């Protein structure tokens, strides 16, 4: 506990001295007490199908099979709510302690929690676009009375199957990915929460940052470069951080 408190003090010192701090989150921001199965689904959505199958070409040929195999994920994620990490980042933004959130997650929960400046670098499952008429819809608008989305979702305008606004392997990365890279060029501090940062091109995003803080259960790609490394449950760490910030009257 003493080691964690020392690390938290270092994090606060870096936060308060930083001119442009940003946060990058991954699937590890969920915990055992906060629907940990969602973490596995979040991590594995793109591996539910063989990589050769998870392509826009394959989706257009047989969208029903994509939804059939992804049904457990979709059903769960539509019902998942923001947790303590999402809500803490909203407070940090409100108190000008962070400027933005970059996320690998496609669940849309940072925006739902209230974060204003969010870059969803793999897209979001909360909206979908018709590949026929190209109209975009919020999944919330397609939910049934029991808060479940009928799968596969159909375009209300033309009846074709809607494609979730996530990037398939053979699709260009969404605009948010490139906006996030520009955002990082401004940042003088990045806090990586709940991500190993092992895969490219995601692990290119923190490169410009001179100061990096890592909060993740397991070792990450950026441990050697990080100024502070905390290998513990991200939710517990963030809770302790917010409590200490509150004591110092830096949030609230």
Out of 86, 122, 132, 231, which one is annotated catalytic? 122
Please tell me the total number of residues recorded for the chain in this structure. 252
Give dist(CA 72, CA 78) in Å, integer.
Answer: 10
Distance of CA 26 to the CA centre of its chain: 5
Does the annotation count 122 as an active-site position? yes
Return the active site residues.
122
């Amino acid at each position: 506990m003493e080691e964690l408190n020392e690390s938290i003090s270092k994090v606060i010192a870096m936060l308060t001295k930083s001119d442009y701090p940003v946060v990058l989150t991954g699937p590890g921001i969920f915990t055992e007490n906060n629907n940990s199965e969602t973490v596995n689904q979040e991590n594995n959505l793109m591996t539910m199908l063989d990589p050769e199958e998870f392509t826009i070409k394959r989706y257009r040929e047989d969208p029903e099979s994509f939804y059939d195999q992804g049904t457990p994920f979709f059903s769960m994620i539509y019902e998942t709510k923001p947790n303590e990490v999402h809500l803490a980042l909203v407070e940090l933004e409100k108190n000008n302690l962070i400027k933005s959130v970059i996320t690998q997650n496609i669940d849309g929960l940072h925006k739902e929690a209230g974060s204003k400046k969010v870059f969803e670098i793999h897209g979001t499952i909360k909206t979908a676009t018709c590949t026929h008429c190209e109209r975009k819809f919020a999944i919330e608008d397609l939910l049934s009375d029991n808060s479940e989305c009928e799968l596969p979702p159909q375009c209300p305008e033309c009846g074709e199957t809607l494609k979730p606004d996530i990037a398939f392997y053979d699709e260009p990365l969404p605009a948010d990915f490139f906006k996030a890279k520009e955002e990082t060029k401004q940042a003088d501090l990045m806090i990586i929460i709940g991500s190993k940062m092992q895969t490219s091109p995601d692990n290119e995003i923190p490169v410009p940052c001179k100061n990096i803080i890592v909060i993740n259960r397991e070792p990450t790609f950026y441990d050697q470069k990080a100024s502070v490394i905390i290998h513990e449950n991200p939710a517990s760490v963030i809770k302790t951080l917010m409590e200490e910030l509150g004591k110092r009257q830096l949030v609230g």
